[in-house]
Amino acid sequence: MSPRSASVNEELRRRSKERLLQAAVELVGERGFEATTLGDIADRAGSARGLVSYYFPGKRQLVQSAVHRLMHRTLEDALEREPRTEDGRERMARAIDAILGLARDRPVLMRQHMAGLLQAEGFVPCPEQLRLAELLRDTVARHGSRDVDRDYPMLRALLMGAVYAALVPGVPMPVPVLRAELFERYRLDREMGLPPEAEVPGGTGDSDLSRFFATGTAPGHEPEVQP
């Protein structure tokens, strides 16, 4: 048997990492952070347990990367869905609705994520978080900001605050109320984005998360990788 090429090995590593990210999101969403072990994640992903430690220094880092992947792919989907638009106000509305939609549709996962951000290590720098930041910065710029370095952190803080407010146990604020407040701040029309009563195929409540964790190829067009 001839040895695998470098490109095949890279593809296998990519797929293994994506399966781990998807498994982390699924299990934490089902069981919560504390009840999910690294072994559980490896088993769900069909990976050797040693691979988890190879890719991620710990469970917190893995889960943050996984949630940031889900967030940036959800946001990307919302910004680029048909009809495509370059209108800055519409794109801001879509961004707000995408993040609030995750709080509404995946409360256990997002509550655990917010709790993790309050730990000592806070944000864990990773490519997934950087991609999310790039999309939000671009949204701010297209909305007309004259100082993206000032306005992006404010949008990020407002979205994090809205997610937190929607998920506080016992006293959650309704997502439509939070949406209305953010839309007023950014001077957006209620009909923009994805109003709460509207639904689109492939929304954030889908149980199949695989499309958020496949990169480099279009869904349904995975390349054949020979072992």
CA 60 to each of CA 53, 102, 159, 208: distance values in angstroms, whole numbers, following the listed order: 12, 19, 21, 23
| pLDDT tens column, 177-225 | 999 999 999 999 999 998 876 654 444 455 566 666 665 543 333 333 3
More confident residue, 73 or 201: 73
Return d(Cα 92, Cα 147) in angstroms, integer. Answer: 16
Residue 61 pLDDT exceeds 80: yes
For CA atoms 166, 66, 125, 53, the dihedral sign is positive
Return d(Cα 227, Cα 212) in angstroms, integer. Answer: 25
| pLDDT tens column, 80-110 | 999 999 999 999 999 999 999 999 999 999 9
The residue behind tokens 């957006």 is: 188
The pTM is what?
Answer: 0.82
74-78, 110-114, 141-145, 217-221: segment of lowest average pLDDT: 217-221
Q: Average of pLDDT values for 70-86?
A: 94
Q: Average of pLDDT values for 156-174?
A: 95
* Cβ atoms of residues 137 and 152 within 8 Å: yes
* Cβ atoms of residues 89 and 187 within 8 Å: yes
CA 157 to each of CA 161, 184, 210: distance values in angstroms, whole numbers, following the listed order: 6, 16, 29
Residue 56 pLDDT exceeds 70: yes
Domains of the chain: 63-193 (1.10.357)
Q: What is the DSSP letter of 33?
A: S
Which pLDDT does position 54 carry in this prediction?
A: 87
Which pLDDT does position 36 carry in this prediction?
A: 94
CA 158 to each of CA 33, 100, 110, 182, 188: distance values in angstroms, whole numbers, following the listed order: 24, 11, 15, 8, 15
